[in-house]
Amino acid sequence: MSDLFQKAPEATETIVPPAERLGGRRLHVRRGVHRAQVLRHIALMVVTFVMLYPLLWMVASSVRPNSEIFQHAGIFVDTFDFSHYPEGWNALSHPFSTYLVNSAIVVLGTIIGNLVACSMAAYAFARLRFKYRKAAFAIMLITIMLPFHVLIIPQYVLYSQLGWVNTFLPLIVPKLLATDAFFIFLMVQFIRGLPQELDDAARIDGAGHIRIFGQVILPLMIPALATTAIFTFIWTWNDFFSQLIFLTDPSLYTVPVALRQFIDAQSESDFGAMFAMSVVSLVPLFLIFLFGQRFLLRGIATTGGK
């Protein structure tokens, strides 16, 4: 194998001299590179296809008649049967729209909470000099890695004494208090990258910290805010544990808790409906993926979120 593989195709293009000056060996190497690229693409296509296959199968199964679902490993549908969607929509104690709306409320609340509270804390950590700053910052970093198990039981006791069980408050209020420290850290990183001169200029113009934060830093940190909003959306939409324990009234069920009912309530005979509602529950995530992946991928690459 040639070491030229390491180079980007653009680079190879500029290195290779005009055709008439080419020796046979050069041409050969280049063709070899080309072939290796093709092989690499074929291998990657196969891997990608295999990885996405279960998803395609799920979508295909959601529009197949029940009798055919488990006879087919294929993803091409002969007889389309869309009846699983209305069936699944109404299969549980409430129409699926109820669960979607509940999830949307929780997601919206958590996004607002994370954006407001984490950006405030991030500004303080990134730009202000204060007593115990280092210690506070270290504590904040440690809380990112703290397993929620050591908190959840006393939190549950606290929220049930406040009468918050079976409301959305236990899912939203903590976010207004910046408990998702991961996002504080993400924003601190971002603010540190903004030139300090901007703050100084605003300060010379007489701006205080509130105005510097609101009118200088916040508008500039929109990419970090977008990343936060997107990650919060995904994590909250997928979150199961806390929604499972805090929401026991079926009219308050969010999408994950509702989907779970398909498994234990029903005799699992109506697989089509189960597939259909699984697909419905993934659509918002997929849309986020389509439109927000720039922020998503950058956010993962710099901070390690999932």
**Looking only at residues 116 through 145 of this chain, which bind another protein when binding is defined by CB under 8 A?**
116-118, 120-121, 123-124, 128-134, 136-145
- Site residues for another protein, window 87-116 (CB under 8 A)? 116
Binds another protein (CB under 8 A): choice among 241, 251, 287, 291: 241
Q: Which of residues 172-211 bind another protein (CB under 8 A)?
A: 174, 176-179, 181-182, 184-185, 189, 208-209
Query: Which residues, other chains included, contact 245 with Cβ-Cβ below 8 Å and sequence gap of 6+?
Result: 152, 156
- Residue from 166, 167, 238, 266 binding another protein (CB under 8 A): 238
If one asks whether residue 220 binds another protein (CB under 8 A), the answer comes out as no
Neighbour tally for 44: CB within 10 Å: 10
Asked if 16 is part of the footprint of another protein (rule: CB under 8 A), the reply reads no
| Contact call for residue 217 and another protein (CB under 8 A) | no
Residue 24 one-letter amino acid: G
Q: Which two tokens stand for residue 304?
A: 């390690």
Out of 54, 163, 195, 219, the only residue in the binding site for another protein (CB under 8 A) is 54
Type of residue at 138: A
What's the rounded Cα separation, in Å, for the pair 83 and 66?
A: 10
Judged by beta carbon, residue 20 or residue 256, the one nearer another protein is: 256
The CB-of-90 to another protein minimum distance in angstroms stands at 18
Q: Which of 7, 26, 30, 203 binds another protein (CB under 8 A)?
A: 7
Residue 20 C-beta: closest distance to another protein, Å: 27
| Least CB distance to another protein at residue 105 (A) | 18
Which range, of 4-12, 18-26, 79-87, 91-99, touches another protein by CB under 8 A?
4-12
